[in-house]
Amino acid sequence: MVNFKYRNAVFTGLIFIILFLVIFPQNVWTQEKGWGLGIILGEPTGVSFKKWLNKKHAIDAAAAWSFGSEDAFHLHGDYLFHNRNLINIDGNRIPFYYGVGGRLKFQDQSRFGIRFPVGITFFIREAPIDIFFELVPILDLAPSTDFDLNAAIGARYYFH
């Protein structure tokens, strides 16, 4: 069963991104090195990590709390591909990303699933910070097959 409980988080995230692009279009740029540590808000909510492997590939992970129908601790990790040519606003290329990863959700009956994240990332020119928004379809494989949808916004500080 699809969990659309978080559609308000999706709409809030989209509004946040649109306002950010309208107010600060000249401050958006792409960054392609280093590792970032920050927060992820939505489903799940917690600590986020990202490591750039090169200009097009990165890995990300989170240790977070899932506030779904059953509260649970959540771990995930993804391999991400970035397309820097798809979104271009006022000469600023905004990376669109997609990938595949895994999720462990620790609850009464712990779950394991495959994640398919899709999102966009903004880098702030004056600071080593990114802001991201993502939608993540999840196919749970154990203990039973189920489909879920996560959505989150977040920010990370990058260390070089």
Give 7-159's CATH code, choosing from 3.30.565.10, 3.90.320.10, 2.40.160.20, 1.10.10.60. 2.40.160.20
pLDDT in tens, 94-144: 889 999 999 999 988 899 999 999 999 988 777 889 899 999 999 999 999
Q: Is 13 helix (H, G, I), strand (E, B) or coil?
A: helix
- CB-based contact 136:151 (threshold 8 Å): yes
pLDDT in tens, 69-101: 778 999 999 999 999 888 877 766 788 999 999
How is residue 43 annotated by DSSP?
Answer: S
- CB-based contact 129:156 (threshold 8 Å): yes
Q: What is the pLDDT of residue 29?
A: 41
What are the boundaries of each domain within the chain? 7-159
- CB-based contact 121:95 (threshold 8 Å): yes
CA distance 150 to 31: 25
Give Cα separations from 46 to 32, 67, 96, 133 (angstroms): 24, 11, 22, 14
Is the pLDDT at 27 greater than 50, yes or no? no
CA distance 38 to 133: 13
Q: Is 23 helix (H, G, I), strand (E, B) or coil?
A: helix
Q: Which pair of tokens denotes residue 91?
A: 């000469």
How is residue 70 annotated by DSSP?
Answer: S
Q: Which pair of tokens denotes residue 101?
A: 């990863």
pLDDT band at 153 (very low <50, low <70, confident <90, very high): very high
Q: Please give the average per-residue pLDDT across 21-43, as a whole number.
A: 67
Is the pLDDT at 51 greater than 70, yes or no? yes
Is the pLDDT at 16 greater than 90, yes or no? no
- CB-based contact 150:44 (threshold 8 Å): yes
Q: Read off φ and ψ for residue 125, nearest 5 degrees.
A: -60, -40
